[in-house]
Chain A
Amino acid sequence: MARDSEREEVHEYLLLNRIFEEKVLEEYEDSGIPELPHLSIGQEAVGVGGTFAFEADDWLAPSLRTRAVMLMRLSLRDVVTGMYGTKSSPTEGRTTQHHLGSSENHILGTTGLIGSHLNVAVGAGLSARQLDEDRVTGVFFGDGAATRGEFHTAINYAAVEDLPVVFILENNQWIEETPAMDVIAVEENISEMAGHDIPKEVIDGQDVDVVLESVSGAVERARSGEGPTLIEAKTYRYRPHAEVIPERRDEKEIEEWKERDPVHLHEERILDDGLVDEEWIEAKRAEITEEVNSAFEFAKNDPMPAEDVMYQVYKDTEIDENGGVVR
């Protein structure tokens, strides 16, 4: 269990994640957001607990749905302007915040191809070894990514080289609109597919304390040279894969998962433990809501970028807009 002050901070991040994404949904339905929302509502404990377990200069490679990495390592203004693609956004509208990379904040950029970041994260681990740097890399990925060769090859190489990488499988049960277990040839735990000789843990992804404890242990092992760990966190998303996709899952299944909501679960625990009271929670909710609303207000009023920003193609060579070298 984390220290008391850290438990409060963890709860603030859970609230931030939830309030932020509920606002995204509201804005998307109300007036539209250029970036199509792929919400993580319901599975925030994995991202928040997972991210919290790393040091600030450890590298993190988020999945499409690890919004927590972005919210915990970037400013709200960067995240929201990133969704609108406005002038003040981190890449001035070149890309959405879904896949944004930031060397400053040690977020590894990703792509729109689910799972292609797994070996990239292993490369960051290889880099740490080559440069003799004491940092660990965490990579979050979904159950869909686990069906790719990337998953097996990344774990094999990390394991054979004992690289400081923590693999966090966010098993939210559904691969887009297909039940994961319909297309994965194991009985219960997806992590069983990886036959590699590395420590594996299957954990309750709805309980942020469990996630934090498990990932912290893996980070410690990686940092002390004991190599990678694979953690499978069982969780669930309340929303469809993307907001454009109509919901086709059984309402009963969704309601059952909501009974173990990660934000409520943690809220009840810190209230029961007397760590905070209802007033603290209400005050935090109001404070975060205000910050989120203000970031959206800013983004909606932010001008669009100048067209020349899209010609950031090479760092070392100047080219014209048809690919010719400018001498």
Chain B
Amino acid sequence: MTELTVRESINQALAEEIERDERVFLYGEDVGDYGGLYQVTEGLQEQLGDDRVFDTPLSETTLGGTVVGAALTGSRPIVEIMFGDFLSVIADHLINYAAKMHFNYGDGTSVPLVVRTTYGGGDQFGLHHSQDPMPWFQNVPGLKMVAPATPYDYKGLLKAAVRDDDPVVFFENKQRYEVSGDVPDEDYTVPIGEADIKRRGEDMTIVAIGGMVDVAMEAADELDAQGYDCEVIDPRTVMPLDKETILESVKKTHGLTIVHESAQFGGMGGEIAAEAADEALYYLDAPVKRVAAPFTPVPFAENLEQSYLPNADDVEAAVIDALEG
């Protein structure tokens, strides 16, 4: 084991996968010599060569189309889209192309691409550089979405995404690049489609996505001090969802709180709540709570943005509200 930051674990995963398989390459705006806006790809071009790690035009239209075409013809490309907000530009290629080609071919062809992108607020980058765009794509069969929380999961899931035969959008939370944790020295992957129980508990199931896992863990610590024993589940893969792990937990704790950074309305929380209502209603002893953003664009001013983003206090309040009414 070595202690690595999320940034380092992604950088290592990229280097190892590009080295492991000659069909893998990494491209995108500024990912080469500059090392990417968030310096995640720092040193990779020098280490692996400019034929395996290279810069592109600013055009997301070109990136979205070419990554699909390369994946359909024998390559296993990784493309970096600088901000998740810009996925709107490649939405056509993700929704109508990448997600649907396995359905549209008769011979088992799929689209083994990885789109790496950043998401989330907290930097006062404003309404077009701070969004959590996951809900835009949760209704797209054929697309996989991965949003890890720990350095271990970042590395293992990115490696799994590169080796996966289906299109994967890999979401990196901007606030978590400096978070560190233990990462194995040997090669490993974390399976796509498998949730992880980050903390065991008996009184409440908290499902938290991506950057909100740390928030939920902080809240669980505070709640523990007050006598509430919370279980924290990190789906890790947002689509397709490991519903089974969540429902089993709900049947044990009899409670459910969901935390994500995108707006509450139309978000994954509603979907998970509906699954619980459908499959585990009679196990529930408390109302289902969602802790998420309000239905408004991500605001710029510091106090507004902080108010917009869910935090540990919000999670704590929601859990107490559910358990105590």
Contact = CB atoms under 8 A, between A and B. Distances in A.
Given A91-B104, A156-B57, A131 B23 contact: yes
A118 B65 contact: yes
A256 interface: no
Nearest to A324: B243
Output the residue of B57, B72, B108 with the most chain A CB within 10 A.
B72
A327 B110 contact: no
Contact of A122 (B66, B107, B166, B242): B66
Interface residues of A, number: 53
B62 A153 contact: yes
Nearest to A89: B106
B164 interface: yes
B66 A126 contact: yes
A118 B92 CA distance: 13
B35 interface: no
Contact of A127 (B56, B69, B105, B165): B69
B65 A100 contact: no
Contacts of A89: 106
Contact of A109 (B65, B93, B105): B105
A323 B241 contact: yes
Contacts of A109: 72, 97, 101, 104-105, 109
Given A119-B64, A314-B240, A102 B72 contact: no
A153 B58 CA distance: 10
Interface in A78-132: 89-92, 94-95, 99-104, 108-109, 111-113, 116-128, 130-131
B75 interface: yes
A312 interface: yes
B74 A127 contact: yes
B144 A317 contact: yes
B170 to A, nearest CB: 15
Interface string B46-88: 0000010000110101101111111111110100000000000
Given A59-B73, A103-B107, A124-B72, 17 more contacts: A103-B105, A108-B73, A109-B105, A116-B97, A122-B65, A123-B65, A123-B69, A123-B72, A124-B73, A130-B23, A153-B57, A314-B110, A315-B165, A319-B240, A324-B241, A324-B275, A325-B242
- A-B pairs with lowest CB-CB distance, top 10: A119-B65, A123-B69, A123-B66, A90-B106, A315-B110, A120-B69, A325-B193, A324-B243, A127-B70, A127-B73
10 contacts: A89-B106, A100-B105, A101-B104, A109-B72, A111-B92, A112-B96, A120-B72, A137-B73, A154-B62, A323-B141
Interface of B: 22-23, 25, 51, 56-57, 59, 61-62, 64-75, 77, 92-93, 96-97, 100-110, 141-142, 144, 164-166, 192-194, 237, 239-244, 275
